[in-house]
Amino acid sequence: MSAAAPVAPPDDPYATGHGDPAFHVAHYDLDLTYRVAPNRLRGTATLAVETRAATDVLHLDLAGLAVEKVTVAGARLARWTHRGGRLALRLAREVPAGTRLTLAVAYGGTPQPVRSPWGTVGWEELEDGALVASQPTGAPSWFPCNDRPDDKATYRTALTVDQPYRALTHGVLVDRRARASTTTWVHEERRPTSTYLATVQVGRYEEVPLGDGPAPQRALVPAPLVPAVRERLAHHDALLRCFADAFGPYPFGTYTLVCTADDLEIPVEAQGVSVFGANHLAGHDDDGRLVAHELAHQWFGNSVGVGTWRDIWLNEGFACWAEWWWSEASGGPDTATLARTWHARLRAQPRDLVLADPGYERIFDDRVYKRGALTLQALRTVLGTPAFLGLLRAWTDRHAHATATTDDFRALADEHARAAGGGALATDVGALLAAWLDRPALPALPAAR
């Protein structure tokens, strides 16, 4: 086999230039120290990997930080090079598929976000702290990784910061060690996690309990924002219960909503975490929608992930429909009303987007979000609400902590249609999904049965 396995098939229009399909990372152990004032990060990343194909070179993604030392256990490392955001580890001889290796990379520097077609993503220095919002390709801005959405791994992250800063990473807090001037926060995420969902949050945060319902919930917020956040998120426990009833058990150990002191352009999800700016939770009418949307991603996108960005509607369309479901459950406009409103708006926009294949540079087009939600509402109308909610719960159960595709969803919808109404209903559902997913024309919303 060629010494340098390709990052992705050359004809893949959704290839990001990141990742290496020649191996899988099973676990990341990250030991990090961050100094807020100079924005300096140092760390050692230890990766447990298994080769998926015979190879003599492994590629990791790491951008903007300097590599100090690399070691490999399980094979002999001949040399390594680091350029253009790619760390290449060349082995002395080819190893077969199924070989288990341990890679350790010591690195450091001034972390910065990386460029993407949607602006910069990844590590972001705040006025007084830092955050990580990596979707879709920002993970290499702070740790060496196999940056592919389908390469999920478990994590242990130890992050040392100066007092009085608080550090949060994805997972459950398992240890906290205070010294004279620093505190080390250790989190473990035992559920498989995509690299873009790994996160770091550092700030002068107070903890606000939000509820204990299906899982412990809390907000981390700057002290001046505590009263506003308490008021805005007073319903959060009811929101989580509503989603757990509709979508199945909450998929992670805890849920943390971080609100920075800085204004942010958009909120973003991470594994068991959502990140908002002060502008999102300080009094705007859209807040309830955004809070519901980011929470819904814990089921749709974080637990059930996409193997390729082509299927992004499975994340964003589902989270958008969840906004509508919460609106209906909490006394706002019902899903049918919201669907009619957004259908009318989409009719006034260009009809040149195919939901199941929008094109890489349009994966975050708002039409992906809203047309995805309309697809689900149309499916609910045809299946009926009980069968539709059964489909959603089966989806989050069957593909929990894994990845799934649009074709997987079609197949499951067919199963549920046959169980609910036989072959005729399955034919209707297949035609409906083909119209909404595979063609740019905007179908009419089906009439209620």
Per-residue pLDDT tens over the stretch 234-278? 999 999 999 999 999 999 999 999 999 999 999 999 999 999 999
Q: What is the mean pLDDT of the chain?
A: 95
Give the C-alpha separation, 392 to 400, whole Å: 12
pLDDT above 70 covers a percentage of the chain that reads: 96
Over residues 169-190, mean pLDDT: 97
Q: Report CA dihedral (293, 199, 356, 424) to the nearest 10 degrees.
A: -60
| pLDDT band, very low/low/confident/very high, at 12 (cuts 50, 70, 90) | confident
Mind listing the pLDDT tens digit for each residue in 199-211?
Answer: 999 999 999 999 9
Q: What confidence score (pLDDT) does residue 13 get?
A: 86
Burial 182-195 (b: 16+ CB within 10 A, else e): ebbbbbbbebbbbb
Q: What confidence score (pLDDT) does residue 2 get?
A: 31
Q: Is residue 284 over pLDDT 60?
A: no
Q: Is residue 319 over pLDDT 60?
A: yes
Looking at 297-384, list the stretches that DSSP marks H as alpha helix, in order from N- to C-terminal side.
Answer: 313-329, 335-347, 366-383
Q: What confidence score (pLDDT) does residue 7 get?
A: 43
Give the C-alpha separation, 436 to 355, whole Å: 7
Q: What confidence score (pLDDT) does residue 167 get?
A: 98
Q: What confidence score (pLDDT) does residue 3 get?
A: 33
The pTM score is 0.96
Q: Is residue 4 over pLDDT 80?
A: no
Mind listing the pLDDT tens digit for each residue in 397-441?
Answer: 999 999 999 999 999 999 999 999 999 999 999 999 999 999 999
Residue corresponding to tokens 């089921």: 299
Reduce the DSSP state of residue 418 to 3 states and report it: helix
| pLDDT band, very low/low/confident/very high, at 281 (cuts 50, 70, 90) | confident
Q: What confidence score (pLDDT) does residue 8 get?
A: 44
